[in-house]
Chain A
């Protein structure tokens, strides 16, 4: 009786171990193989589309970027890294790079901070929340090209309302889009106007997600002023939202194109040449495919670096784990 019981246990243990040993020996069971091929088949449509629409075109652009290819010209020379050396000695390109950086530096902080302040104001007041949310979101859904003409009117040096307001306040009028000193600021104002609504909606979502108990706990802990409350609860709890908002805003600002193309065409005297507009001109006006491709690669590289900084470096600091 006792022996029989022991026998059973050993067999039981053997049963559990055997398939595992067997699987390790042969590498893969029939079931595993079937599972694997099914997985590939399920992935295939997406994988093929990604290959055809994203990876191959990118590789093609990368390949073209090392050449001096022009549209309509049969022969082209392989320049290799010289193509990039040329790019970084090209004053026009460096100017566009610098202008884009200035534009991002103006738009991103202002629209993030403004979006946060407006979101907190709307969050604090129940009345009219939906109304204000919609109003501030309007620029996001309206067509930039169409709205550009409105801005052209608003910023008109002689009869634009913005200058009329300045004049009424006794301030000198500003040549918003027509002076190389002001044009980036003027474009940045439009960029902020476009981005604030989007950031506001994201921040509102982030604010509503904050556990109300935290504010109650802070109050019980003696956090009295709105200022301390913001730094004790709101700001830390908005960390992930802020990271996302900053990322998205910077990427969108780097991609500025429509306002430049419609309002200034990069002028006056290239003061508002930005990366995307320069790429567009090289590729579609001068038909310098090779140069445009190299610029596009640099452009993508900038975006990737931004993304990498934000995901790898900052992500750790906002999720608190």
Chain B
């Protein structure tokens, strides 16, 4: 099956400032891709280029095998949902949802308020539009809001109307620009599920921009992590989390943040504070950064061969989990471990603990940020295998 949406080598400058550097991406039919990254990483600009609201300086956008790079947004048949909802405040919900249909199905004469509805053909067209609006409103359970204006609705209700306006005309792609950022936390989780359901039902490609990694991981089929105008990695949420390609991906995704420790490779073995943590790395001896997710840091009271001793500062009880705040005595930096609630109190009276992680959970990054994987052939020599 051909991909529904293809981005090829998109480049964008604002003046001399580079915003997007060579962005390429292929999205399958019906796929939900989340663009996630810190603010200013270019994700919103990329979305606006896909939409056609902004022009790329180089590269192309292909939608359903048609190159739409030179088409204006109105001609691309995509729908967009905005963080600010962007509803027309002078129109009721019904008129808001009907507007994209009216713009496409009626000519400017037929759209006129009074005389437009005179011929039977136009009346039939208008009735069809209203039926579609009702159907969409039913699906979104906003029928009772249809005669209200945006000012008379809550934020959540406005966002549903905005979603209605996007889905009503069955576009070829949905583009969502942080649609949940203005909602409160409870509503956000709820609306998340609804957007996923809407996306499934429509079955069209959806590009979802967010700065919230939880949203990205929870909703998307694939997550694209953007930083500094590049896509650092695009992969399934599981792969992004457990198998990051880059140190910036590892530290952006995950809360609490991944622990980063200084280390070095000696004869294929990664060593931190004199302890070997992982073997089987190729390449020459060099400095690296070691990443271990908080839930992969095992704490014990007994010294083992691969463990490092850490100071225990504080245990934070959070109900479903306990967060241990630790100090790495080798350089005084802080570490965080995520424990099962039951584990917490066994460490309460200790000031020093032993921390370890199983080899597959020790992520190693080169000094340029790229991932160094064990068993990789790094040019020369055989890979060393863990004992």
Contacts and interface: CB of A to CB of B under 8 A. Distances in A.
A219 B74 CA distance: 5
Contact of B103 (A221, A236, A320): A221
A219 B76 CA distance: 10
A320 B90 contact: yes
B284 interface: no
Name the residue in A220, A225, A237 with the highest tally of chain B Cβ atoms < 10 Å from its Cβ: A220
A213 B182 CA distance: 14
A221 B84 contact: no
Nearest to A224: B74
Interface residues of A, number: 22
B103 A217 contact: no
A269 interface: no
Nearest to B149: A320
Q: Interface SS of chain A: helix, strand, loop or mixed?
A: helix
A233 interface: yes
Given A216-B80, A222-B74, A232 B88 contact: yes
Contact of A228 (B48, B83, B108, B151): B108
A166 interface: no
A233 B72 contact: no
Interface in A176-228: 211, 213-214, 216-217, 219-225, 227-228
B53 interface: yes
Contacts of B51: 216, 220
A222 B103 contact: yes
B82 A223 contact: no
Interface string B65-82: 000000011100011101
Contacts, number: 70
A232 B99 contact: yes
A219 B51 CA distance: 10
Contact of B84 (A211, A223, A239): A211
A219 B73 contact: yes
Contacts of A211: 84, 86
Interface in A222-251: 222-225, 227-228, 232-233, 236-237, 239
A110 B61 CA distance: 46
Contacts of A237: 89-90
Contacts of B149: 320-321
B56 to A, nearest CB: 16
B104 interface: yes
A285 B74 CA distance: 66
B90 A236 contact: yes
A308 to B, nearest CB: 23
B97 to A, nearest CB: 10
B159 to A, nearest CB: 13
A318 to B, nearest CB: 8
B165 to A, nearest CB: 7
Contacts of B100: 220-222
Contact of A213 (B74, B82, B99, B104): B82
Contacts of B88: 214, 217, 232-233, 236
Contacts of A321: 149, 151-152
Interface of B: 48, 51-53, 72-74, 78-80, 82-84, 86-90, 99-100, 103-104, 108, 149-152, 165
10 contacts: A211-B84, A216-B80, A216-B86, A220-B51, A220-B73, A220-B79, A224-B72, A224-B103, A232-B88, A320-B89
Given A221-B100, A236-B90, A320-B151, 9 more contacts: A217-B82, A217-B165, A221-B103, A221-B165, A222-B74, A222-B100, A228-B108, A232-B99, A237-B90
